[in-house]
Structure 1
Amino acid sequence: MTSRVMLISPAISAALREARFDDNCPLDASGLRLARAAAHVLPSVSRVWVSPTARCRETAQALGLDAGSASGPAGLDAGRWRGSTLTEVAEKEPEALAQWLADPESAPHGGESVRALCDRVARWLDDTAAQVTGRSVVVAEPEVVRAATVRALGAPESAFWRIDVPPLTATELSGRAGRWNVRVGWQLGPAQEE
């Protein structure tokens, strides 16, 4: 049974602009405008999931998707770094940040490691493929899109940091549990303001 899972990254928000570990920041006016403008480009879908953050729920709603749909995979649990910018963490905990970026099993922030995120997203993806045929959409944090791409390609977790996921782009996985093809990063609407 073949599934198509379209992973859509949320539109721009202050947290994304500031390279801030998610603090449940809503979309900014620009992000909301761009998401609304992109609503007409989505194909029809059989199922929608939305990650639990405000920016994912608001992006889904602006795209005309049911933001009250089933909960999709949550973003990375950044532990005590939640709400901090990457620059702030680099200033306060440079060794811990370097360790986290270099070692996929590391979680010096007390949250989730990159490997754990990749494993969690892969389990979700396999469960989804087993349950749903046709095209599904999940509006998910950029790190979820990275994790799904890493697992779909069978790449090492070190590739996680080498995948850019711009705001309001789609990555489509087609196939079935254990074997996926990847179509990456197509823009849903007009060029993003970064």
Structure 2
Amino acid sequence: MTSRVTLVSPATSPSMRRARFDDGDSLDEAGAAGARSAAGCLRAPGRVLTSPSVRCRETAGALGLVGARDSAPAGLDAGRWRGRTLEEVGAAEPEAVGRWLTDAGSAPHGGESVREMCERVGRWLDAVQGTDGRTLAVVEPEVVRAAVVHVLGLPADAFWRLDVPPLTATELSGRAGRWNLRLGRPLTGQDAAAAP
């Protein structure tokens, strides 16, 4: 049994543009327009899931993905840093930010460490791998990073070395505890004919 999972990163939002820890904002107009223009470029999945954030749910809607359930992994719990920009937190707590960016087990914000998140996303992927068919999940960029760390068996510190642009698809296929990976295909209306 081969499982196929497509992870789609959300379109842009004001918090994403400002490098602000997600505060529940909606997509900005450019992000919503980009997602609407990419509608129809993804192969129809058996299951459509989203991270519970507003921007992931709105991206799924703009892409025309109907029947999406909020059962994909949530983004990183940034604790008391939620809603603040990385620049603001760095100015107020430079040592804490430095520790957070260099130690995957650190969670100075009182939320979740990068290592904990990678493990959580890995458990979710392992559960999905036990199902047959296609799963499409619109998820936060850090969920995509954590998934790549998991499927390639990378150390959690590699998380920060992975960039996930908005509106890209990362495709996983696997069986028997092994995954194959296709990284970051942009979602555009032009790609509809080339969608796998």
Counterpart residue type for residue 77 of structure 2: D
* Matching residue of 2:140: 141
Cα contact 1:75–1:141 (8 A) shared by 2:
yes
Amino acid at match of 1:185: G
Point out where structure 1 has 5 or more consecutive residues left out of the alignment. Answer: none
Superposed CA RMSD: 1.3
The answer to whether the aligner puts 1:2 opposite 2:21 as a matched pair is no
Equivalenced residue count is 190
Q: Please name the residue that 2:104 is paired with.
A: 104
Matching residue of 1:182: 181
Q: How does 1:61-140 map to 2 (within 5 A)?
A: 61-66=61-66, 68-130=68-130, 132-140=131-139
Give, in whole Å, the separation in 2 of the partners of 1:178 and 1:98. Answer: 34
Percent identity, please. Answer: 62
Q: Distance in 2 between matches of 1:26 and 1:83?
A: 13
Amino acid at match of 2:116: A
Residue of structure 2 equivalent to 1:33: 33
> Quick one: distance in 2 between partners of 1:20 and 1:4?
31
- Aligned partners of 2:31 and 2:67: how far apart in 1? 16
Structure 1 residue runs of 4 or more that deviate by more than 4 Å after TM superposition: none
Q: Distance in 2 between matches of 1:174 and 1:183?
A: 9
State the TM-score, normalizing by the size of structure 2. 0.94
Is the CA contact (8 Å cut-off) linking 1:15 and 1:21 kept in structure 2?
A: yes
Could you list the runs of 5+ residues in structure 2 that have no partner in the other structure? Answer: 191-196
1:85-142 CA distance string (max 9 Å, x none): 0100100000000000000000000000000000000001111111x21221000000
1:166 aligns with 2:165: yes
Change (3 A) 1:159 1:81: same
Partner SS state of residue 40, structure 2: helix
Is 2:133 the partner of 1:154?
A: no
